[in-house]
Amino acid sequence: MDPRETATGRGRNKYDPNRQPKTSCFHQIQNGLRMDRLLQDTAGTQEFKHDTGELSQVHISIAGMGIRKVRIANLPLEGPDRTIKDNLAKYGEVKDIKEELWTKAYRYKVSNGIRIAEMNLKLHLPSHMIMADHRVLVSYDGQPSTCYACNELG
């Protein structure tokens, strides 16, 4: 990638003085401990010095994990959506809950027993949870693997 296309921080790009200031810059940090330390050391703000000598305050925060479609299996059909919403609330905002249907190759739309919760994730979900006294399987794209017994990573 051309370095002229990857300006960071706020202010004018040193390669193109006519370019407008950036208002947001996102960096992906793979190591959670490193991110925690960065936030602790900087208290969420850092000063950025431009080539012109101008100083800008850069705010540092953890971005959400975005909108994900979370599949929930092994919950009885009579289990209310409210139960799902309450159990998932600490991991992010639940936008919608729908029933997954068998493929359209069949003549009639029939629920296959899996619920799809569309949510804006803030934290990763464990692979298994207890909902309405049932152990349910929880899965979505990008979910880290967790132990069936203890829900620890790995």
The domain spanning residue 119 has which CATH number? 3.30.70.330
Residues 71 and 131 in one domain: yes
Residue 104 sits in which domain range? 66-139
Q: Is residue 148 part of a domain?
A: no
Position 16 scores a pLDDT of: 45
Tokens, residue 150: 């203890």
Q: Is residue 147 part of a domain?
A: no
Q: Are 121 and 91 in contact (CB under 8 A)?
A: yes
Q: Is residue 149 part of a domain?
A: no
Number of domains in the chain: 2
Residue percentage of the chain with pLDDT more than 90: 31
Residues 76 and 134 in one domain: yes
User: pTM higher than 0.75, yes or no?
Assistant: no
| pLDDT 10s digits, 75-103 | 998 888 999 999 999 999 999 999 998 87
**Helix or strand or coil: residue 97?**
strand
- 36 bridge partner residues: none
Residues 74 and 27 in one domain: no
Residues 81 and 133 in one domain: yes
Q: Are 113 and 73 in contact (CB under 8 A)?
A: yes
Q: Is residue 151 part of a domain?
A: no
| pLDDT 10s digits, 1-42 | 333 333 333 344 444 445 455 556 666 777 777 777 777 787
Q: Are 11 and 22 in contact (CB under 8 A)?
A: yes
| Domain final residue pick, 42, 59, 76 | 59
| Domain final residue pick, 41, 59, 77 | 59
